[in-house]
Amino acid sequence: MIRILDRLGRPLLRLIDAEAAHALTIKAMRWAPTLPARADDRRLQVAAMGLRFPNPVGMAAGFDKNARVPDALLALGFGFVEIGTVTPRPQSGNLPPRLFRMSRDRAVINRLGFNNDGVARVRERLTARASAAGIIGVNVGANKDAPDRAGDYATAIAALAEPASYFTVNVSSPNTPGLRDLQHKAALDDLLARVIDARDRAAATAGRKPILLKIAPDLALAELDDIVAVARARRIDGMIISNTTVSRPGALQDLIPAREPGGLSGRPLFALSTRMLAETFVRVERAFPLIGVGGIDSGTSALAKVRAGALLIQLYTGLIYCGLRVLDEIKRALVRELEVEGAGALADLVGRDASARTAERW
């Protein structure tokens, strides 16, 4: 049913305001009947961070901020779903308009600002589905007015440790002033220490949940050196590269929305986020796995992420423009590549092009 709506309704959704279209999509997904996903090709299975992913393609954070439709997303064929960003207290985010389509560029600019229902409501929803299968990551952040930002991350993790399959520490949203400063060495070290402490305290009852760090694409390589050094020293479980960019890569066509402040996602983010992924891969030296996200909208772009260093991938904006068929296309392309390369598993292809990518001119 959702697939039929996706095919027929998506062109109509483009005619209304972007945020209204998103709200309508979530509503339709809550009410439309879903059948369980068809079993994936076994070669697409990925074992990482103590979890077994049926396929490597995840729904990126920001689509289902409030854990309204994680099971519908899994039933559509995603290998995992990342909900959030969730903050300890509910907050309404920035004033609308705050979400802008750039259709000719196949991109979106958002400055939502962590609008979300808060950990208590999200915990209720996730607890209600606790017996259901499927990997649900929880992306956590700090409230805009938090006096102690690192404390907010620890609070969110303590509150959601039981239902979460993994946590993503989001220090890369451009829409909460100052949040990206948590990527600086000393602040990041303190943040990760407190986050890991919160995770370890909850482990006795909730189990040890993996902690991932999601970074911005707008970092100098010296900053990335520091981030990876801290992440490795603190022994986190993985990194996600990347969030949206505050830059406006050249040759954009939708120049009026491009002037809006906020984070740019979609096709124009692909080159930058893939370069940062490769740069991260060569620094991490396989100490932990990477999730590649940013501008995936085809089998080819998904494969490029894997070859640049991603064991798992996520997408959001590509779905707005291509619909669910892109999910099937990506899975087919990955299986085809495994066959062509004579590889038994995706892990064999991860990072094959990383060094070449880092050698390219910016």
Ligand X SMILES: Cc1cc2nc3c(=O)[nH]c(=O)nc-3n(C[C@H](O)[C@H](O)[C@H](O)COP(=O)(O)O)c2cc1C
Residues that bind ligand X (CB under 6 A): 60-62, 65, 84-85, 99, 108, 110, 112, 139, 170, 173, 214, 243-244, 265-266, 269, 293-296, 315-318
| Residue 25 or 265 having the CB closest to ligand X | 265
Tell me 309's DSSP state: T
Q: Which is nearer to ligand X, 99 or 159 (CB)?
A: 99
In degrees, rounded to 5, the angle at the alpha carbon of residue 136 between the alpha carbons of residues 43 and 301 is 50
CB 35 to ligand X: min, Å: 26
Min separation Cβ 340 and ligand X, Å: 25
| Nearest alpha carbon to residue 169 among 112, 201, 211, 200 | 211
Q: From the CB of 273, what's the least distance to ligand X, in Å?
A: 7
Which of 82/205 has CB closer to ligand X?
82
Dihedrals phi, psi of 91, to nearest 5 degrees: -150, 155
Count the neighbouring beta carbons within 10 Å of the beta carbon of residue 195: 22
Instruction: Tell me which residue has its CB nearest to ligand X.
Output: 62
Burial 275-292 (b: 16+ CB within 10 A, else e): bbbbbbbebbeeebbbbb
Nearest C-alpha neighbor of 231 from the set 184, 188, 281, 172? 188
Which amino acid appears at position 41 of this protein?
Answer: D
Dihedral Cα 305, 51, 183, 314, nearest 10 deg: 30
Q: Are 26 and 69 in contact (CB under 8 A)?
A: yes
Shortest Cβ distance from residue 241 to ligand X (Å)?
9
Name the residue nearer to ligand X (CB basis): 112 or 196. 112
Annotated catalytic residue within 173, 242, 273, 301:
173
When the beta carbons of 154 and 345 are compared against ligand X, the nearer one is 154
Buried b / exposed e across 44-83, counting CB within 10 Å, b at 16+? bebebbebebbbbbbbbbbbbbbbbbbbbbbbbbbbbbbb
CB of 80 to ligand X, least distance (A): 13
Instruction: Based on the residue annotation, tell me whether 173 is a catalytic residue of this protein.
Output: yes
Minimal distance, residue 316 CB to ligand X, in Å? 4
Minimum CB distance to ligand X smaller for 202 or for 293: 293
Which positions are catalytic? 173
